Amino acid sequence: MSIRLIVGLGNPGPEYEQTRHNAGFWVVDNLENGFHGNGWQKEAKFSALVSRAKIGGHDVWLMKPQTFMNRSGLAVGAMARFFRIAPEEILVVHDELDISPGQAKLKRSGSTGGHNGLKDIASALGTQDFWRLRIGIGHPRSLNLKSPVIDYVLQRPRREDMGGIEDAMARAIQIVPMLCEGQFDKAMKELHTVR
Protein backbone atom coordinates (compact mmCIF):
# COMPACT_ATOMS: atom_id res chain seq x y z
CA MET A 1 0.00 0.00 0.00
CA SER A 2 1.33 3.42 -0.92
CA ILE A 3 0.02 6.96 -1.37
CA ARG A 4 -1.69 7.55 -4.74
CA LEU A 5 -3.53 10.82 -4.02
CA ILE A 6 -2.17 13.83 -2.13
CA VAL A 7 -4.78 16.42 -1.22
CA GLY A 8 -3.81 19.88 -0.02
CA LEU A 9 -6.53 21.64 1.96
CA GLY A 10 -7.25 25.33 1.61
CA ASN A 11 -9.74 27.88 0.36
CA PRO A 12 -9.79 28.99 -3.31
CA GLY A 13 -9.41 32.64 -4.29
CA PRO A 14 -6.68 35.28 -4.03
CA GLU A 15 -8.00 36.66 -0.73
CA TYR A 16 -7.19 33.34 1.00
CA GLU A 17 -3.91 32.53 -0.77
CA GLN A 18 -1.57 33.74 1.99
CA THR A 19 -3.69 32.67 4.99
CA ARG A 20 -2.73 30.01 7.55
CA HIS A 21 -5.68 27.80 6.57
CA ASN A 22 -4.06 27.37 3.13
CA ALA A 23 -0.92 25.59 4.37
CA GLY A 24 -2.12 22.41 2.61
CA PHE A 25 -2.31 24.27 -0.72
CA TRP A 26 1.22 25.64 -0.16
CA VAL A 27 2.62 22.11 0.30
CA VAL A 28 0.97 20.60 -2.79
CA ASP A 29 2.02 23.64 -4.86
CA ASN A 30 5.62 22.96 -3.77
CA LEU A 31 5.22 19.26 -4.63
CA GLU A 32 3.78 20.16 -8.04
CA ASN A 33 6.77 22.42 -8.76
CA GLY A 34 9.45 20.25 -7.17
CA PHE A 35 8.38 17.01 -8.85
CA HIS A 36 7.56 18.61 -12.23
CA GLY A 37 3.84 17.90 -12.25
CA ASN A 38 1.92 18.32 -15.49
CA GLY A 39 0.39 21.65 -14.36
CA TRP A 40 -2.82 22.32 -12.44
CA GLN A 41 -5.92 21.46 -14.50
CA LYS A 42 -9.44 22.43 -13.50
CA GLU A 43 -11.52 19.23 -13.22
CA ALA A 44 -15.19 20.13 -12.92
CA LYS A 45 -16.26 16.54 -12.14
CA PHE A 46 -14.01 16.61 -9.04
CA SER A 47 -14.60 20.30 -8.13
CA ALA A 48 -10.82 20.57 -7.90
CA LEU A 49 -7.54 21.55 -9.48
CA VAL A 50 -5.56 18.38 -10.16
CA SER A 51 -2.09 17.55 -11.41
CA ARG A 52 -0.10 14.36 -11.92
CA ALA A 53 3.51 14.00 -10.82
CA LYS A 54 6.08 11.22 -10.57
CA ILE A 55 7.09 10.95 -6.91
CA GLY A 56 9.24 8.15 -5.54
CA GLY A 57 9.05 6.49 -8.97
CA HIS A 58 5.23 6.36 -8.86
CA ASP A 59 2.51 8.33 -10.65
CA VAL A 60 0.69 10.29 -7.97
CA TRP A 61 -2.34 12.58 -8.19
CA LEU A 62 -2.12 16.00 -6.54
CA MET A 63 -5.34 17.83 -5.69
CA LYS A 64 -6.50 21.24 -4.46
CA PRO A 65 -10.27 21.10 -3.79
CA GLN A 66 -12.02 24.26 -5.03
CA THR A 67 -15.08 23.78 -2.82
CA PHE A 68 -13.92 25.77 0.22
CA MET A 69 -12.53 24.00 3.24
CA ASN A 70 -15.80 22.79 4.82
CA ARG A 71 -16.81 20.92 1.64
CA SER A 72 -13.43 19.32 0.81
CA GLY A 73 -14.98 15.85 0.99
CA LEU A 74 -17.00 16.51 -2.17
CA ALA A 75 -13.79 16.69 -4.24
CA VAL A 76 -11.86 13.95 -2.43
CA GLY A 77 -14.77 11.50 -2.42
CA ALA A 78 -15.47 12.03 -6.14
CA MET A 79 -11.86 11.48 -7.17
CA ALA A 80 -11.33 8.50 -4.86
CA ARG A 81 -14.42 6.77 -6.28
CA PHE A 82 -13.54 7.57 -9.90
CA PHE A 83 -9.98 6.20 -9.70
CA ARG A 84 -10.77 3.53 -7.08
CA ILE A 85 -8.31 4.99 -4.59
CA ALA A 86 -8.66 3.45 -1.12
CA PRO A 87 -8.77 5.78 1.92
CA GLU A 88 -5.41 4.43 3.14
CA GLU A 89 -3.86 5.49 -0.21
CA ILE A 90 -4.85 9.12 0.42
CA LEU A 91 -2.66 11.72 2.13
CA VAL A 92 -4.39 14.91 3.25
CA VAL A 93 -2.08 17.85 3.98
CA HIS A 94 -3.54 20.50 6.28
CA ASP A 95 -2.87 23.26 8.79
CA GLU A 96 -2.86 22.16 12.44
CA LEU A 97 -3.63 24.50 15.35
CA ASP A 98 -2.38 22.06 18.01
CA ILE A 99 1.17 21.98 16.62
CA SER A 100 3.49 24.98 16.85
CA PRO A 101 4.95 26.64 13.73
CA GLY A 102 8.09 24.75 12.74
CA GLN A 103 6.62 21.30 13.39
CA ALA A 104 4.98 18.79 11.07
CA LYS A 105 3.41 15.47 12.06
CA LEU A 106 2.23 12.44 10.13
CA LYS A 107 -0.55 10.15 11.28
CA ARG A 108 -3.04 7.68 9.93
CA SER A 109 -6.69 7.83 10.96
CA GLY A 110 -7.88 9.00 14.37
CA SER A 111 -9.93 12.03 15.30
CA THR A 112 -10.39 14.95 12.91
CA GLY A 113 -9.57 17.31 15.80
CA GLY A 114 -12.39 19.70 14.94
CA HIS A 115 -10.85 20.46 11.52
CA ASN A 116 -13.85 21.00 9.22
CA GLY A 117 -12.00 19.96 6.06
CA LEU A 118 -10.97 16.63 7.63
CA LYS A 119 -14.47 16.09 9.02
CA ASP A 120 -16.02 16.51 5.59
CA ILE A 121 -13.46 14.16 3.97
CA ALA A 122 -14.05 11.49 6.64
CA SER A 123 -17.78 11.81 6.03
CA ALA A 124 -17.38 11.53 2.22
CA LEU A 125 -15.06 8.51 2.47
CA GLY A 126 -17.14 6.86 5.20
CA THR A 127 -14.01 6.40 7.35
CA GLN A 128 -11.30 8.32 9.21
CA ASP A 129 -8.72 5.80 7.99
CA PHE A 130 -6.67 8.05 5.71
CA TRP A 131 -3.24 9.62 6.20
CA ARG A 132 -2.81 13.20 7.42
CA LEU A 133 0.29 15.37 7.13
CA ARG A 134 -0.23 18.13 9.66
CA ILE A 135 1.62 21.43 9.26
CA GLY A 136 1.82 23.34 12.55
CA ILE A 137 0.48 26.88 12.50
CA GLY A 138 0.17 27.26 16.28
CA HIS A 139 -2.89 28.23 18.30
CA PRO A 140 -3.60 31.92 18.94
CA ARG A 141 -3.63 31.23 22.70
CA SER A 142 -0.24 29.51 22.70
CA LEU A 143 1.18 32.41 20.64
CA ASN A 144 -0.35 34.98 23.05
CA LEU A 145 -2.64 36.39 20.38
CA LYS A 146 -6.15 37.63 21.10
CA SER A 147 -7.70 36.53 17.75
CA PRO A 148 -10.59 34.06 17.79
CA VAL A 149 -9.56 30.82 16.01
CA ILE A 150 -11.87 31.47 13.04
CA ASP A 151 -10.13 34.81 12.36
CA TYR A 152 -6.65 33.50 13.14
CA VAL A 153 -6.71 30.72 10.52
CA LEU A 154 -7.89 33.20 7.88
CA GLN A 155 -5.03 35.65 8.54
CA ARG A 156 -1.48 35.67 7.17
CA PRO A 157 1.11 34.18 9.53
CA ARG A 158 3.32 36.67 11.36
CA ARG A 159 6.81 36.95 9.89
CA GLU A 160 8.35 35.17 12.90
CA ASP A 161 5.94 32.22 12.45
CA MET A 162 6.28 32.00 8.67
CA GLY A 163 9.93 30.89 8.85
CA GLY A 164 8.95 27.98 11.08
CA ILE A 165 6.02 27.03 8.84
CA GLU A 166 8.33 27.03 5.79
CA ASP A 167 10.85 24.79 7.62
CA ALA A 168 8.08 22.35 8.57
CA MET A 169 6.81 22.27 4.99
CA ALA A 170 10.31 21.59 3.64
CA ARG A 171 10.74 18.66 6.06
CA ALA A 172 7.26 17.35 5.21
CA ILE A 173 7.99 17.50 1.47
CA GLN A 174 11.21 15.47 1.97
CA ILE A 175 9.27 12.46 3.30
CA VAL A 176 6.59 12.43 0.58
CA PRO A 177 8.61 10.16 -1.78
CA MET A 178 8.83 7.58 1.06
CA LEU A 179 5.05 7.67 1.45
CA CYS A 180 4.60 7.18 -2.29
CA GLU A 181 6.86 4.11 -2.01
CA GLY A 182 4.84 2.75 0.93
CA GLN A 183 7.62 3.34 3.49
CA PHE A 184 5.32 4.78 6.13
CA ASP A 185 7.33 3.85 9.24
CA LYS A 186 10.53 5.23 7.76
CA ALA A 187 8.76 8.47 6.75
CA MET A 188 7.26 8.89 10.22
CA LYS A 189 10.58 8.28 11.96
CA GLU A 190 12.34 10.73 9.65
CA LEU A 191 9.73 13.46 10.13
CA HIS A 192 9.33 13.04 13.88
CA THR A 193 13.05 12.85 14.73
CA VAL A 194 14.01 16.13 16.36
CA ARG A 195 16.95 17.78 14.65
Catalytic residue positions? 21
Give the 3-state secondary structure of 9-28: CCCCCCCCCCCHHHHHHHHH
Of 29, 147, 158, the closest CA to residue 100 belongs to: 158
> How far, rounded to the nearest angstrom, does the alpha carbon of residue 62 sit from its chain's CA centroid?
10
Distance between CA atoms of 99 and 175, rounded to whole angstroms? Answer: 18
